[in-house]
Amino acid sequence: MAGADPAHALQPALAAGTRLPLLNDPAGYEAVRATVTAPFALPSAGLVTVTLAEVLDAQLRAGAAAALSPTGYIPAGGTDVLREAARQFGRLGRTDAIFTAPLDISLLGPSYYTTTAAILAGLGTPVAIILGGQGDPLTQSRHIIPNLRDLAARVPLIPIRTDFNGLDLVGHGAIAAAIGTGGSVRHTVDPPEKRRAFSRDQSPSVLWPELVSFFKGSKINELFGARPSLAPRCDCAACGGQRLTRFLRREHQNQAIGHAVAVWTRWAADLLDAPTIRDRAQYWQNLCAGAIAHHAVFLAQLQLLEGLTPQDPLKRWATLPAWPSPAAAPVP
């Protein structure tokens, strides 16, 4: 649950009587860029700055199962900033806290990955990683997905704000993941920048289960406008067999979120039911490969030549080896 005030962020779940383990992400990286001299977004109480330890303690008092560090956004090429943030966090010696690493996507690319991985592995504690960049960070380089998989094998990784990349990484060794209920909480951006709006369409983003991809509700409705009887139905707990073409207006956002959560919860359950990590990876690859095939199936049904192109990360998840061979080296 994101929010600078942990009591406020966690209160709805606690009031509902949940027994699930809860984490509070202070999300300081949304407003503060980390520096070597100030790697954490620490609040002020009058003239006194609250310490890192006090921020962590406040989350635990509010009911969090473990505390997340309020790390600022680690900027492009900022391995020195990441190193200092990790040093200060590690110096606390906490066993009830998780280091949050909101990384500009460049730090997972070929120029900086080796250093980034060494810093995070050197902590010896779980790391909650957040990807930063405009658009989809996974599309910035062909090295990102292999490097993230390598990191999940080296570090007790918890990818958060991560879209379906979270399922891929749990399939490759990550201990947990948070997908994010909307586009604004599936990655982050460097705080001086404003998140770019790629569409003025007010219809919600809708998970199309067979395609393992999000589409604007208006796009799905447009595709099946001439053939409404072919529009896909969803049997998830939120939809109960209704068609995906019904999510057309802003007020349908919460329903679209409920549908998405219901669908990916089933995927997560199947993934976690796999007997080994290798089997998890194979399940995820099979799901993505099936989604690629379904793109062609729907185009054929609609008698279209284009209009449904598989997204690049989906193609990578479907075609990369489900599990690296023992001789394979990580992408530098």
Average pLDDT over the chain reads: 93
Note the pLDDT tens digit of each residue in 177-187: 999 888 778 89
Judge whether 127 lies within some domain.
Answer: yes
Confidence band of 325 (pLDDT split at 50, 70, 90): low
Judge whether 330 lies within some domain.
Answer: no
Task: Say which residue, 101 or 225, is predicted with more confidence.
Answer: 101
Asked if residue 74 and residue 146 are part of one domain, the reply reads yes
Asked if residue 148 and residue 65 are part of one domain, the reply reads yes
Judge whether 296 lies within some domain.
Answer: yes
Asked if residue 89 and residue 232 are part of one domain, the reply reads no
The mean per-residue pLDDT over the stretch 56-85 comes to: 97
Judge whether 54 lies within some domain.
Answer: yes
Task: Say which residue, 325 or 210, is predicted with more confidence.
Answer: 210
- In the predicted structure, residue 327 carries a pLDDT above the cut 50: no
Of 153, 185, 217, which residue constitutes the final position of a domain?
Answer: 185
Asked if residue 104 and residue 223 are part of one domain, the reply reads no
According to the model, what pLDDT value does residue 307 have? Answer: 84
Whether the CB-CB separation of 158 and 175 falls below 8 Å is answered with yes
According to the model, what pLDDT value does residue 127 have? Answer: 98
- In the predicted structure, residue 290 carries a pLDDT above the cut 70: yes
Percent of the chain with pLDDT over 90: 85
The mean per-residue pLDDT over the stretch 72-80 comes to: 97
Judge whether 326 lies within some domain.
Answer: no
Asked if residue 146 and residue 49 are part of one domain, the reply reads yes
Give me the DSSP letters along 206-254: EEEGGGTEEEEHHHHHHHTSS-GGGSPB--STTTTT-BGGG--SGGGHH
Asked if residue 131 and residue 32 are part of one domain, the reply reads yes
According to the model, what pLDDT value does residue 49 have? Answer: 82
- In the predicted structure, residue 57 carries a pLDDT above the cut 90: yes
Helix (H, G, I), strand (E, B) or coil at 110: coil
Percent of the chain with pLDDT over 70: 96
The mean per-residue pLDDT over the stretch 144-151 comes to: 96
Judge whether 125 lies within some domain.
Answer: yes
Asked if residue 265 and residue 160 are part of one domain, the reply reads no
The mean per-residue pLDDT over the stretch 80-90 comes to: 98
CA-to-CA dists, residue 288 to 46, 101, 228, 262, angstroms: 51, 27, 26, 18
Note the pLDDT tens digit of each residue in 256-288: 999 999 999 999 999 999 999 999 999 999 999
- In the predicted structure, residue 329 carries a pLDDT above the cut 70: no
Judge whether 193 lies within some domain.
Answer: no
Asked if residue 44 and residue 165 are part of one domain, the reply reads yes
- In the predicted structure, residue 331 carries a pLDDT above the cut 60: no
Asked if residue 225 and residue 115 are part of one domain, the reply reads no
| Residue 150 to residue 189: CA distance in whole angstroms | 23
- In the predicted structure, residue 330 carries a pLDDT above the cut 70: no
Burial (CB count within 10 angstroms: exposed 0-12, middle 13-18, buried 19+), residue 45: exposed
Of 132, 152, 185, which residue constitutes the final position of a domain?
Answer: 185
Q: Which domain does 87 fall in, by range? A: 6-185
Tokens of 106: 């460049």
According to the model, what pLDDT value does residue 269 have? Answer: 97
- In the predicted structure, residue 328 carries a pLDDT above the cut 50: no
For position 69, which CATH number holds?
3.20.20
Asked if residue 274 and residue 145 are part of one domain, the reply reads no
The mean per-residue pLDDT over the stretch 220-242 comes to: 94
- Residue 149 parent element (H or E): helix 144-154
Total number of domains in the chain: 2
- In the predicted structure, residue 188 carries a pLDDT above the cut 80: yes
Asked if residue 234 and residue 118 are part of one domain, the reply reads no
- Residue 98 parent element (H or E): strand 97-104
Confidence band of 146 (pLDDT split at 50, 70, 90): very high
Whether the CB-CB separation of 181 and 174 falls below 8 Å is answered with no
Judge whether 16 lies within some domain.
Answer: yes
- In the predicted structure, residue 247 carries a pLDDT above the cut 50: yes
Confidence band of 249 (pLDDT split at 50, 70, 90): very high
Asked if residue 307 and residue 221 are part of one domain, the reply reads yes
Q: Which long-range contacts (CB under 8 A, 24 or more apart) does 225-232 make?
A: 227/301, 227/302, 230/301, 230/302, 232/208, 232/298
Of 122, 156, 185, which residue constitutes the final position of a domain?
Answer: 185
- In the predicted structure, residue 27 carries a pLDDT above the cut 90: yes
